[in-house]
Structure 1
Amino acid sequence: MGIAVAADLPGVGANLQDHPICNVVYSAARPVPAGSDNHGEAAGLVRSQPGLDGPDLQMVFVDSRGHIPGIAASEPGEGYTIGVAVMRPYSRGTVRLSSTRPGALPRLDPNYLGDERDLATMVQGLRLAREIGQARALDDWRAHETKPGVRTDDDAALQAYVRSSLASYFHPVGTCRIGEDALAVVDRHLRVHGISGLRVADGSVMPSIPSANTNATVCAIAERAADMLRGRSC
């Protein structure tokens, strides 16, 4: 780009991780009450396979027919959604400069399905969401499944649905990861390697994405950074 290099950090913008999300959507047999918690009325972590050492999927229940990242553009009519998010993704993306202009938008490549294991996990998650959606407790609420639709049932069809509808759960982390190796960007005090007087204090310093929503972890990073700047630690 012709920009002077202040520090050679090959890890700057690499290691991008996010929680991809896809939805099972239902039309409702009766009016769905308005939610009180920003549309996400309940959530839970589950394992896609019994032998895993921890949960790798999150289910989130939404009082709207449509994609979580586009509630305002939801389908008309009464309905609800069971969102499925991969919480321990293997895929890694990048954020890169697109221009020397400070205001230019970056080149963002989340590469959500770069690792086939994430696609397999998402398909399994959709199947688990359908099991929940067909539970007897929802019989009085459920009319029928609108997305992906009951005819979308074999692995190939569900994989195609994931590829066409997958979106961000808005939990990006990892592009300025903490560490001391050649690809690390900040040290354990959040100081950028090779540049004095500069720290990073947000989700980008996480080496790996947590198997949970990231807001609490980001708040903890910010509080730790505040302590450092107040002189309570280095």
Structure 2
Amino acid sequence: MKFDYVIVGGGSAGATLASRLSEDAHTSVCLLEAGGKGDDFLIRMPAGVVAMLPGKGKINNWAFNTVPQPGLNGRRGYQPRGRALGGSSAINAMLYIRGQRQDYDDWANLGCDGWDWESVLPYFKKSENNERGHSDWHGGSGPLHVSEQRSPRPVTHAFIEAARYRGIPARADFNQGDNEGVGLYQVTQFHDRARRGERCSAAAAYLHPVLRQRPNLTVKTNTKATRLIFEGKRAVGVAYRAGGSVQEVRATREVIVAAGAFGTPQLLQLSGVGRPEDITRHGIQMVHELPGVGQNLQDHLDFIHVFKSKDTDNFGIGLAGTVNMLGHIANWYKDGSGMLTTPFAEGGAFIKSAPTLERPDLQLHFVISIVEDHARKLHPGYGFSCHVCQLRPHSRGEVFLQSADPMADPGIDPRFLSDQRDLAALLQGAKLTRDILLAPPLRQYRHRELFGMRDGMNDREWEQHIRARADTIYHPIGTCKMGTDELAVVDPSLKVRGLQGLRIVDASVMPTLISGNTNAPTIMLAERAADLIRGGVARPSPSTGK
């Protein structure tokens, strides 16, 4: 089989890119996805994430684990990643966050020309169908539905008031280039009459509506890419495993890898692209040496405060909540409202660990349930949780091959807290977050604080709590970074350095973490990549003034 473009990975980037490239009826596109179609009930119903995220049965989830982390008392971290069309946008909290203006300007300053805030804003808007409509900041006609939350709980509004009580300003829109403040998150959720309240994954936005309309678009699910095929230094195809057999598909123009921050470096290494010390020890022949493949892994380390509550108007385990849930099920089927539409992390804030900072370096996610160990440890009763993560970590990790078997999981080592500056910022963030949760507006919802947290702890005790319980909040990036330095894997047009016919389009190319959730930036990245590939890069209009 031959196609103009072969895309590996149908996640947020791959789904977006396949849809955009196949808009040209004269261009043939083949998309390979290791998981399923991404349209099942658990994905469509937002609350279904509670069955997918913990990884039991690996439902639509790769459910990776890290190597032991010295900074986390030797614990292995958990790394859920979506395994279906839509990728992690099929199992995430649906939060629509772009990050700070300075994040993208930093990329440009690192040699990534064309990736500054003014250049990427048009692509955020192009992707977006915001319930608020078109404006200088938002798009109103794109494929990706961005909505107000259907039924945020009263405890979430109390959290917002508690943060305001502590001096944090209210913010109605987290996506204008300056996030500082507290408010409700917007979510990637359908707001049209037909699908109101359903999750709008990247696949639901970009792929599912066009699959039967475009004969030039071929999507192969349950198909695992095993290696890239090269002729000299040119990528010409992909070998893949499907239904127990190994097959090949060829690309006449480009192979595009969009397998994510873990899957993309693993596939390159399996194909002989990367550092010799990562590849040859597994008996794999080198094709091209690129020292940055698998390096520069960055992720948001997260710490959670948890309170038990006597309030049953949230998610929990108990008779009263179960009875209430029957009504919420009826509401979801009727008009897409009720608790089953929740992103769980309903409220949020972006704050500074020190007032002298130029921009917020901490993000809070307020959750309407008790959360421990990624919901893998359940608690009877009801409560609320608040995550705090450090937004721009200094620690750097890596992704590496554990074996030459393409079906094996990649080795993942984030090296959390290997840089002491990260611990200092997260410790301060944990203190500030607890102060918010103890503010008067949340008094009626607090019953008992969990995990031995108490007043008067010294920094050593705070550090012990962080090392004992902190883990990822699911934003890995950077393992095939974009740039011009010696560790850059792709150039600013996302072409792999030193090779032909090969690009990378996913979060692995981000040189540094953005200040927030990474799904919207990944979709933006794929929107811009489509124009780069087609040779028609849009520039921001001076009339926007933004």
Q: Shared fold (TM-score greater than 0.5)?
A: yes
Q: 1:96 aligns with which of 388, 400, 420?
A: 400
CA distance in 2, matches of 1:181, 1:219: 25
1:23 CA drift (Å): 0.4
Contact 2:314–2:382 (Cα < 8 Å) also in 1: no
The 3 A distance-change label for structure 1 pair 121 and 214 is same
1:25 aligns with 2:306: yes
2:312 match: secondary structure: coil
1:41 aligns with 346
1:64 aligns with 2:345: no
1:91 match: secondary structure: coil
Q: Match of 1:130, as an amino acid?
A: R
CA distance in 2, matches of 1:98, 1:146: 37
Unaligned stretches of 5+ in structure 1?
none
Q: Deviations over 1:111-165 (max 9, x none)?
A: 1110111111111111111111111101111112113421682211111111111
1:182 CA drift (Å): 1.1
1:125 aligns with 429
1:11 aligns with 2:301: no
1:105 aligns with 409
1:54 aligns with 359
1:162 match: secondary structure: helix
CA distance in 2, matches of 1:44, 1:17: 21
1:62 CA drift (Å): 0.2
Tell me which stretches of 4 or more aligned residues in structure 1 moved more than 4 Å: none
Q: Match of 2:528, as an amino acid?
A: R
Q: Deviations over 1:154-199 (max 9, x none)?
A: 2111111111111111100011000122110001110111121111
The 3 A distance-change label for structure 1 pair 95 and 138 is same
1:104 CA drift (Å): 1.9
Q: Match of 1:55, as an amino acid?
A: P
Q: Is the deviation greater in 98-107 or in 108-117?
A: 98-107
Identity across the alignment (%): 41
CA distance in 2, matches of 1:3, 1:199: 21
CA distance in 2, matches of 1:22, 1:74: 17
CA distance in 2, matches of 1:139, 1:125: 21
Contact 2:482–2:490 (Cα < 8 Å) also in 1: yes
Contact 2:314–2:369 (Cα < 8 Å) also in 1: no
- Please show how residues 131-142 of structure 1 align to structure 2 within 5 Å: 131-142=435-446
Q: Match of 2:361, as an amino acid?
A: D
Q: Match of 2:488, as an amino acid?
A: A
CA distance in 1, matches of 2:411, 2:366: 32
Aligned length: 232
Q: What TM-score, normalized to structure 2?
A: 0.41
The 3 A distance-change label for structure 1 pair 197 and 133 is same
1:29 CA drift (Å): 3.2
Q: 1:84 aligns with which of 388, 395, 407?
A: 388
CA distance in 1, matches of 2:435, 2:303: 15
CA distance in 2, matches of 1:152, 1:216: 39
CA distance in 2, matches of 1:97, 1:142: 46
CA distance in 2, matches of 1:29, 1:147: 18
Structure number with greater CO (CA < 8 Å, separation at least 6) is 1
CA distance in 2, matches of 1:48, 1:127: 10
- Please show how residues 210-229 of structure 1 align to structure 2 within 5 Å: 210-229=514-533
Q: Is the deviation greater in 47-56 or in 143-152?
A: 143-152
CA distance in 2, matches of 1:80, 1:226: 41
Unaligned stretches of 5+ in structure 2?
1-281, 316-338, 538-546
CA distance in 2, matches of 1:131, 1:172: 29
Q: Match of 2:350, as an amino acid?
A: L
1:4 CA drift (Å): 1.7
1:2 CA drift (Å): 2.5
1:140 match: secondary structure: helix
Contact 1:24–1:148 (Cα < 8 Å) also in 2: no
Q: Match of 1:51, as an amino acid?
A: T
Q: 1:180 aligns with which of 458, 474, 484?
A: 484
- Please show how residues 155-194 of structure 1 align to structure 2 within 5 Å: 155-194=459-498
The 3 A distance-change label for structure 1 pair 39 and 132 is same
1:150 aligns with 2:454: yes
Q: Match of 1:126, as an amino acid?
A: A
1:2 aligns with 283
1:98 CA drift (Å): 1.3
Greater Rg over alpha carbons, structure: 2
RMSD between aligned residues: 1.6
Q: Match of 2:284, as an amino acid?
A: I
Contact 1:64–1:74 (Cα < 8 Å) also in 2: no
CA distance in 1, matches of 2:305, 2:455: 13
